[in-house]
Amino acid sequence: GQNIDQPTEMTATEGAIVQINCTYQTSGFNGLFWYQQHAGEAPTFLSYNVLDGLEEKGRFSSFLSRSKGYSYLLLKELQMKDSASYLCAVRDAGNMLTFGGGTRLMVKP
């Protein structure tokens, strides 16, 4: 079966750094995605990791360790508009995405 775990909620301060963790156990692994989803809107693609290591994209970075079944999304210089849910999704052996429940991030002034 597929199991993807991430914290339900996190709170951080504007200008700070926050790390959102994701652990997974899936039938096969063909890559891990992070999506951002504002309330009532569609998920938007943030990052993709298929090899171990860190991928950096502006204020957002994502890390993957396949041996540990672990990823994190790092958000730097937090802005109020970063308040959203962050979804971790794993592509399995069948090439389909299984999503975690999402982490709702609240950025406070």
Q: In whole angstroms, how close is the CB of 15 to other proteins at the nearest point?
A: 28
First to last CA, the chain: 40
Nearer to other proteins, 61 or 103 (CB): 103
Per-residue contact flags (x/-) with other proteins for residues 17 to 56, judged by CB under 8 A = -------------xx-x-x----xxxxxx--x--------
Per-residue contact flags (x/-) with other proteins for residues 66 to 95, judged by CB under 8 A = ---------------------x---x---x
Would you say the C-alpha torsion 7, 73, 82, 17 has a positive or negative sign?
positive
Distance of CA 85 to the CA centre of its chain: 9
The rounded distance, in Å, linking the Cα atoms of 81 and 78 is: 8
